[in-house]
Structure 1
Amino acid sequence: MPLQPERYKIMNNDQRWARGERVRPEQAPRWERSVIEKLATESIKEQRRSRRWGIFFKLLGFGYFAAVLVLAFGKGLLNFPLGEAEKHTAIIDVSGPIAIGEPANADRIVAGVKAAFEDENTAGVILRINSPGGSPVQSGRIFDEVRRLRAEHSETPLYAVIEDLCASGGYYIAAAADQIFADKASLVGSIGVRSGGFGFVDTMEKLGVERRLITSGNNKAFLDPFSPLKDDEVNHMESLLADIHEQFKSVVREGRGDALSDDEDVFNGLIWTGEQAVANGLVDKIGSEMTVAREIFDAEKLVNFTPQDGLLSQITDGVGVSFASGLVSRLSNLNIGY
Structure 2
Amino acid sequence: MLSSLRRYLPKRFRNEKLVVPVVRLQGAIGMNSPMRTGLSLATAALPLEKAFSIKKAPAVAIIVNSPGGSPVQSRLIFKRIRDLAKENEKEVLVFVEDVAASGGYMISLAGDEIFVDPSSIVGSIGVVAAGFGFTELIKKVGVDRRVYTAGEKKVTLDPFQPEVPEDIEYLKTLQQEIHDTFIDIVKSRRGDILTDDPDLFTGKFWTGRKAVELGLVDGIGDLRGVIRDRYGDKAEPKLVAAPRGLFGRKAGLGVALSGKSLTEGLGQDLIAAVEDRALWMRYGL
| TM bracket, shorter-chain basis | 0.7 to 0.9
Indicate the structure with greater helix content: 1
Looking at both structures, which has the greater relative contact order when contacts are Cα pairs under 8 Å and sequence separation is at least 6? 2
Per-residue deviation, 1:241: 0.6
TM-fit CA distance, 1:198: 1.1
Among 20, 29, 37, the residue aligned to 1:89: 20
Matched, 1:107 2:47: no
1:311 positional shift = 5.3
Corresponding residue for 1:255?
189
In 1, Cα distance between equivalents of 2:269 and 2:172: 24
**TM-score, normalising length: structure 2:** 0.80
| Structure 1 match to 2:56 | 121
Is the 8 Å Cα contact of residues 96 and 131 (structure 1) preserved in structure 2? yes
Tell me: CA distance 1:307–1:261, structure 2 relative to 1, closer, same or farther (3 Å).
Answer: same
Task: State the TM-score, normalized to the length of structure 1.
Answer: 0.68
Is the CA contact (8 Å cut-off) linking 1:223 and 1:233 kept in structure 2?
yes
Q: Work out which of the residue numbers 162, 170, 177 in structure 2 matches 1:228.
A: 162
Alignment-derived partner of residue 180 in structure 1: 114
Higher mean alpha-carbon deviation, 122-131 vs 93-102, is at 93-102
Q: CA deviation at 1:105?
A: 1.5
Shift of 1:273: 0.6
User: Which of 254, 263, 286 does residue 220 from structure 2 map onto?
Assistant: 286
Aligned to 1:324: 268
Offset at residue 303 of structure 1 (A): 0.9
CA contact (8 A) 2:31 2:272 kept: no
Listed as ranges, the gaps of 5+ residues in structure 1 are 1-80, 332-338
Cα distance in 1, alignment partners of residues 266 and 75 from structure 2: 21
Aligned residues: 250
- Alpha-carbon distance, 1:291 to partner: 2.1
Q: 1:328 to 1:93 in 2, by over 3 A?
A: closer
- Greater alpha carbon shift after TM alignment, 241-250 vs 107-116: 107-116
Cross-structure match for 1:136: 71
How far apart in 2 are the matches of 1:303 and 1:178?
19
Q: Structure 1 pair 321/292, CA: closer, same or farther in 2 (3 Å)?
A: farther
Deviation at 1:226, TM superposition (A): 0.9
State the structure with more CA Rg.
1
| Contact 2:102 2:125 (8 Å CA) reproduced | yes
1:304 to 230, 236, 239: 239
Residues of 1 paired with 2:221 and 2:80: CA distance? 25
Out of 153, 169, 194, the residue aligned to residue 103 of structure 2 is: 169
The CA RMSD over aligned residues, in Å, is: 2.6
Query: By how many angstroms is 1:236 displaced?
Result: 0.5
| CA-CA distance at 1:166 after TM superposition | 0.8
Using a 3 Å threshold, how does the CA distance of structure 1 residues 317 and 274 change in structure 2: closer, same or farther?
Answer: farther
Q: Distance in 2 between matches of 1:168 and 1:259?
A: 19
1:151 aligns to what?
Answer: 86
